[in-house]
Amino acid sequence: MRIALFATCIVDAMYPSTARATVSILERLGHEVIFPGGQACCGQMHVNSGYFKEALPVVANHVKAFEADEYDVAVAPSGSCAASVKHQHPMVARRCGDAGLEARAAAVGHKTYELSQLLVDVLGVTDAAAQLGSYFPHRITYHPSCHGMRLLRLGDRQLDLLRSVGGIELAELPEAEQCCGFGGTFSMKNADVSSAMLADKTANICGTGADLCAGGDASCLMHIGGGLSRQGSGVTTMHFAEILASTFEDPAAVTGDVRLTTGRTAR
């Protein structure tokens, strides 16, 4: 299969190791990965903040970039960015009165998957240790991000994949389905409420005794990880793609609360 990677802007710029891990996983399964070079961002920060007019060129760019290459499916290592491409893009085009773009956006959205969706539903991965050689000898917990859970209905896909990693120990996160408080510009506009939500999330994470909290959205992980780092908790966050990409020979490093960006070589 020829798979187009939508890295998402935050992963591209801040967490390249997550995108590299995604490439590594897909190539291990024997697929060809391409990176449509015109891509930038899904535009959900603009949309969710009410800046529809400013979002339109961002949406148009994404559609153009993902029409430029031939591929079977596109994948994003992010629930909220995949949801934005699938649900918001046609809506933004419609709201701005561009019916042509609406149809094209819907077509791109139709071909776009969140990573765990692609792995489980399309590529048939059920046992990461056996099929990907995943090995990660750490005690972790897992936060299901809201958009993956409620907009994409990912269910336990990410968690099940993590469970099947060799050497891993999974601690259940109390009140896991409660939002971490990120919410894009909400974290700045309503910083007090966001911080109160974050405090409860980090307390629950620390209570599990895990070395790190895994998740499927870099933005939520940056928020949670930023809070854990500020509290000096020593607990860190990591995208599940990096855990799946980790092997016995080439393990992903967990290096305390500033591990936020220093990704390993994922190939």
Partner 1 sequence: MSGTFLGMPSLPVFGIGNLHEHEPFPKAAHRELGNTQLRANLGHATRTIRDKRLAVVSELPDWEELRDAGRAVKESVMARLPELLEQFEANFTARGGTIHWARDAGEANRIVASLIREQGADEVVKVKSMATQEIGLNEYLEEQGIAAFETDLAELIVQLDHDKPSHILVPAIHKNRTQVRDIFLREMEGVDPELTNEPARLAAAARAHLRRKFLSAKVAVSGANFALADSGTLAVVESEGNGRMCLTLPETLITVMGVEKLLPAWEDLEVFMQLLPRSSTGERMNPYTSLWTGVTPDDGPQNVHLVLLDNGRSAALADEMGRSALHCIRCSACMNVCPVYERTGGHAYGSTYPGPIGAILSPLLTGITAEENNSLPYASSLCGACYDACPVKINIPDILVHLRGEDVDSKRGKKKLPSQMDLGMKAASWALYSGKNLGLVEKALPLGRIAAGPDKKITKLPGIAAGWTQSRDIPAPPGQSFRQWWNKEHQAPAGPAAAGTDVPGAEPAGPKENP
**Segment 128 to 157, residues that bind partner 1, using CB under 8 A:** 146-147, 150-151
Q: Is 121 in the site for partner 1 (CB under 8 A)?
A: no
Which amino acid makes up residue 128? A
Task: Name the residue among 177, 261, 196, 253 with its Cα closest to residue 225.
Answer: 261
Q: How many DSSP H helices and E strands does the chain contain? A: 15, 8
Using the rule CB under 8 A, is 263 a contact of partner 1? yes
Residues 243, 159: Cα–Cα separation, whole Å = 11
- The answer to whether 15 and 242 are in contact (CB under 8 A) is no
Name residues contacting partner 1, limited to 22-41 (CB under 8 A): 32-41
Closer residue to partner 1 in complex, CB, 40/106: 40
42-101 positions binding partner 1, by CB under 8 A: 43, 45-55, 57-58, 60-61, 65, 68-69, 95
Residue 111 within binding range of partner 1, rule CB under 8 A: no
Give yes or no for residue 126 binding partner 1 (CB under 8 A).
no
- Contact predicate 108/87, CB 8 Å: no
Among 101-109, 121-129, 135-143, 223-231, the segment contacting partner 1 (CB under 8 A)? 223-231
Of the candidates 72, 103, 193, 209, which one interacts with partner 1 according to CB under 8 A?
A: 193
List of residues 6+ apart from 69 with CB closer than 8 A: 4, 34, 36
Q: How far is the CB of 168 from partner 1 (least distance, A)?
A: 23
* Cβ-based nearer residue to partner 1, 25 or 129: 25
235 near partner 1 (CB under 8 A): no
Half-sphere exposure of 84 (CA within 13 A, CB side): 25
Instruction: Please report how close the Cβ of residue 62 comes to partner 1 at its closest, in angstroms.
Output: 9
The single-letter code of the amino acid at 192 is D
